[in-house]
Amino acid sequence: MSRQLRLFTFAAPSRFYVLTGWLLPWLWIATIGLSLAGLYVGFFVAPTDATQGDSYRIIFIHVPAAWISMVLYLAMAFWAAIGWAFHTRLASMLARAIAPTGALFTFLALWTGSFWGKPTWGTWWVWDARLTSYFILLLLYLGFMALVSAIDDVKRADRAGALLAIVGAVNVPIIYFSVKWWNTLHQGMTVGSGGPKMAPTMLTAMLLMTFACWAYAFAVVFMRARAIVLERERETEWVGELAGRADSGTAAKLGVAA
């Protein structure tokens, strides 16, 4: 019983709000620190690639963004499914909070991929299996956000969004295995089960930027989720108390200033 209690301790929106409020400053510190370290190692320490020259350095942004966008979609589909199946309010809120961040990373991966593709392939875009399936991922994110925003009833919107997210999750393994299943211009996995196929400093920069992107993703998703929680729980007692404390703090500051 106690184990179950610990598992669902932060499933309540009020406890989630408190926990994320404590985590946010640390996540932003991690985002800034890891980003500076990753960019420095990637652009000033890592060696120039023998075949691609310095143009390859865009992978330190492109690859982490691509990885995270796919994982975020699975996380969005997971929480949307949990919210639909078990009628948990916070799960559906998290699904909505994840979608814009996932769409941002998907767009960033497509954009940086185009800049990488121009000197490598001689063109900004090709409709091969990896790029096409990845473009579909962006459309799925945008479709999820448009769908849940178009339905006024929150519960109906969450159910409709969950259905789309779950069906769209099939696209993620297609993206991942596309370079193996079809003949594409996109290169295969650089970091895989056979070990990394890059210099140690390149791998270090890649991992630093990946952790930086994860810290940023958690930070912005938590901030957005907190805003959604306050909007949906605005009639509850704990939000009223929170607003009362905020008003008291503002009044006290104004009194001191006066």
Dump pLDDT digits (tens) for 27-68. Answer: 999 999 999 999 999 999 988 877 777 778 888 999 999 999
Q: Identify whether the C-beta of residue 83 lies closer than 8 Å to the C-beta of residue 92.
A: yes
At residue 127, the pLDDT reads: 77
Note the pTM of the prediction, 2 decimals.
Answer: 0.86
173 part of a folded domain: yes
169 part of a folded domain: yes
Residue type, 3: R
Quickly tell me which residue has 């001191």 as its tokens.
Answer: 256
Q: Identify whether the C-beta of residue 109 lies closer than 8 Å to the C-beta of residue 134.
A: yes
CA distance 21 to 6: 19
175 part of a folded domain: yes
Q: How many domains does the chain have?
A: 1
Report the chain's mean pLDDT, rounded to a whole number. Answer: 84
* Exposure on the CB side of residue 167, measured as CA atoms within 13 A: 10
Residue type, 113: G
154 part of a folded domain: yes
CA distance 8 to 22: 18
Helix (H, G, I), strand (E, B) or coil at 232: helix
Axis crossing angle, helix 89-121 with helix 59-86, rounded to the nearest 10: 150
253 part of a folded domain: no
Strand partners, 195: 192
Tokens of 61: 């942004």
CA distance 117 to 55: 10
17 part of a folded domain: no
Residue type, 39: L
CA distance 233 to 229: 6
At residue 248, the pLDDT reads: 57
At residue 190, the pLDDT reads: 58
Determine how many CB atoms are found less than 10 A away from the CB of residue 87. 12
Q: What is the DSSP letter of 43?
A: I
Tokens of 250: 């503002």
CA distance 12 to 233: 11
Domain containing 103 equals 25-189+198-229
247 part of a folded domain: no
Instruction: Point out the residues of the chain with pLDDT beneath 70.
Output: 1-11, 121, 179-197, 242-258
CATH code assigned at 124:
1.20.120
CA distance 91 to 113: 32
CA distance 156 to 253: 43
Determine how many CB atoms are found less than 10 A away from the CB of residue 105. 26
240 part of a folded domain: no
Task: Check the CA dihedral 126-130-136-138 and report its sign.
Answer: negative
